[in-house]
Amino acid sequence: MMQKSEIRELLSSYNLQPVVEAAKKDRSIIRMLISLVYDKEDVQSWRAIESIGLVSGEIAETNTDVVRNLSQRFLWMLREESGNGPGSAPEMLGEIVRNSPDAFADIGQVLTSFHDEKMLRRGVMRAIWRICDKRPDLLSITDELMEQKLYLYDEDGVVRAYALMIVGTLGLKDFLPVMQELRNDQSPVSFYDKGKFTQTTVAAIANKVYAGLSGRES
């Protein structure tokens, strides 16, 4: 049985596959991973979130019920009546759907509906980006989200950054005029991707996405 200290060491070295392999045989590892996801300033927490998605993808190939039950538990955490804080539930759900898109497309769509909750918005927008990055056809961007301009005007720079990346992933050229305004937005943002934190600005992301959608270099 893999110990929590071993999991931490593997996360520290961004060596996730041994964790995934062990979790297929020992489901208690999923619980240990969940216990490590709450410090968003710690890259190991994000690697734990990523690992939960990878583990879920492997388990879902033979037992979707286990992963669906886990997903329902995370969805319950998002609801006020649960009495629990949401923690990293949106991000974990995003990784689960990303790794088993066909099996859990409905979960992704339910998760999207929580975008109007301010305290959940950053996690929900990240989840939408992660899912669409893998399967841009999977989610239906609701009229409500479109009316909010995908939160490109949100007060949170990280939300604006995720919104820009969603726009780029889905090729939403109708948002080019809005993006034009963000090309000078020097708000610093940090987000997790491929095992590490990326430090950038809203403007840098806006310029990259704008160039890709408009067909010309910025």
Q: Is the dihedral of CA 199, 200, 205, 211 positive or negative?
A: negative
Contact (CB, 8 A) for 76 and 88 = no
Which of the listed residues 124, 139, 154 is the one where a domain comes to its end? 139
- Whole-model pTM? 0.94
Which of the listed residues 139, 154, 187 is the one where a domain comes to its end? 139
Domain match, 173 and 116 both: no
Domain match, 91 and 155 both: no
Give the span between the Cα atoms of 31 and 48, in whole angstroms: 11
Contact (CB, 8 A) for 138 and 131 = yes
Domain match, 104 and 182 both: no
What letter represents residue 112's amino acid?
T
Which of the listed residues 72, 107, 139 is the one where a domain comes to its end? 139
Structural domain including 168 reads 141-218
For the chain, residues with pLDDT lower than 70 are 80-85, 216-218
In this prediction, residue 21 carries a pLDDT of 95
What letter represents residue 68's amino acid?
R
Per-residue buried b or exposed e for 159-171, using 16+ beta carbons within 10 Å of the residue's own CB: bbbbbbbbbbbbe
